[in-house]
């Protein structure tokens, strides 16, 4: 195990929530707590990303975003990490491949809000991601239907599990994905940034 990386034993189920977290907010906390429970995960690791490859403008400095995430998300089974910066990966497919090499026997699940499923087919090697790990999608206000009818969802339709089987997701063969409905939370980082006084 590389120094500074979180610990996980073979057999454990670990959800990965990647994001800019610029800044982290209660919506992230809410989906994390729900995902732990609804997908029956042992751990969730937040992967605070060096920067979304599809976004033109870089986010706030990584250390600042990690510190903000640690202030808001405090849970014994949740770890806030800068794994992608540590591993030198930027594309999710590379991050997952590296984690699977580093943690043999750990069952990873990729977590995302429904808005991310809508653009998932534009991610680098997205089908490789779906072949590597099951995917847990959580509903987000305004995005449930666009996600359901997205290109990625259509192409992966046969791999979809019904919501009632969400707890089996981590132990399912791939490709497998499920979209769960939660009490919705309207918060977003962009709305928080838009409310900030200019220059902050």
Ligand X SMILES: Nc1ncnc2c1ncn2[C@@H]1O[C@H](COP(=O)(O)OP(=O)(O)OP(=O)(O)O)[C@@H](O)[C@H]1O
Choose the contact partner of 31 out of ligand X, ligand NCN, none; CB within 5 to 8 A by kind. Answer: ligand X
By the 8 A CB rule, do 108 and 14 touch? yes
Which residue in the set 13, 52, 89, 150 belongs to the binding site for ligand NCN (CB under 6 A)? 52
Q: How far is the CB of 9 from ligand X (least distance, A)?
A: 26
Q: Which of 12, 85, 91, 155 binds ligand NCN (CB under 6 A)?
A: 91
Q: Would you count residue 200 as binding ligand X (CB under 6 A)? A: no
Q: Which of 1, 7, 54, 164 binds ligand NCN (CB under 6 A)?
A: 54
Q: How many residues make contact with ligand X (CB under 6 A)? A: 18
| Residue 115 lies near ligand X (rule: CB under 6 A) | yes
53 near ligand NCN, judged by CB under 6 A: yes
DSSP secondary structure string for all residues of 9-48:
-TT-EEEEEEE--TT--HHHHHHHHHHHHHTT-SEEEEEE
Among 26, 49, 185, which Cα is nearest to 115's?
Answer: 185
Q: Three-state SS for 81?
A: strand
* Using rule CB under 6 A, residue 32 touches ligand NCN: no
- Cα–Cα distance between 170 and 15 in angstroms, integer? 8
Stretch that binds ligand NCN, among 53-61, 64-72, 142-150, 164-172 (CB under 6 A): 53-61
60 binds ligand X (CB under 6 A): no
165 binds, among ligand X, ligand NCN, none (CB under 5 to 8 A by kind): none
Residue 100 burial by Cβ neighbours in a 10 Å radius (0-12, 13-18, 19+):
middle
What are the φ and ψ backbone dihedral angles of 6, each rounded to 5 degrees?
-65, 160
* Contact between 19 and 32 (Cβ < 8 Å): no
111: DSSP letter: E
Q: Does 15 bind ligand X (CB under 6 A)?
A: no
Smallest distance, ligand X to C-beta of residue 22, A: 6
Which span (15-23, 24-32, 61-69, 170-178) binds ligand NCN, by CB under 6 A? 15-23
CB 126 within 8 A of CB 152: yes
Number of residues that bind ligand NCN (CB under 6 A): 15
């Amino acid at each position: 195990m590389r120094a500074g990386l979180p610990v996980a034993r073979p057999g454990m189920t670990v959800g990965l929530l990647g994001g800019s977290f610029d800044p982290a907010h209660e919506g992230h906390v809410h989906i994390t707590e729900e995902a732990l429970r609804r997908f029956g995960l042992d751990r969730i690791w937040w992967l605070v990303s060096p920067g979304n490859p599809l976004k033109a403008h870089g986010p706030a400095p990584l250390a600042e975003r990690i510190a903000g995430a640690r202030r808001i998300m405090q849970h014994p089974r949740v770890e806030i990490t800068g794994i992608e910066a540590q591993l030198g990966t930027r594309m999710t497919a590379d991050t997952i491949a590296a984690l699977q090499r580093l943690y043999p026997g750990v069952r990873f699940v990729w977590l995302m809000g429904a808005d991310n499923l809508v653009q998932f087919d534009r991610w680098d090697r997205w089908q490789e991601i779906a072949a590597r790990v099951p995917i847990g999608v959580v509903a987000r206000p305004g995005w449930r239907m666009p996600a359901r009818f997205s290109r990625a969802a259509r192409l992966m339709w046969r791999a979809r599990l019904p919501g009632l089987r969400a707890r089996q997701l981590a132990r399912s063969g791939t490709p497998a994905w499920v979209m769960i409905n939660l009490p919705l939370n309207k918060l977003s980082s962009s709305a928080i940034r838009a409310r900030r006084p200019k220059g902050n």
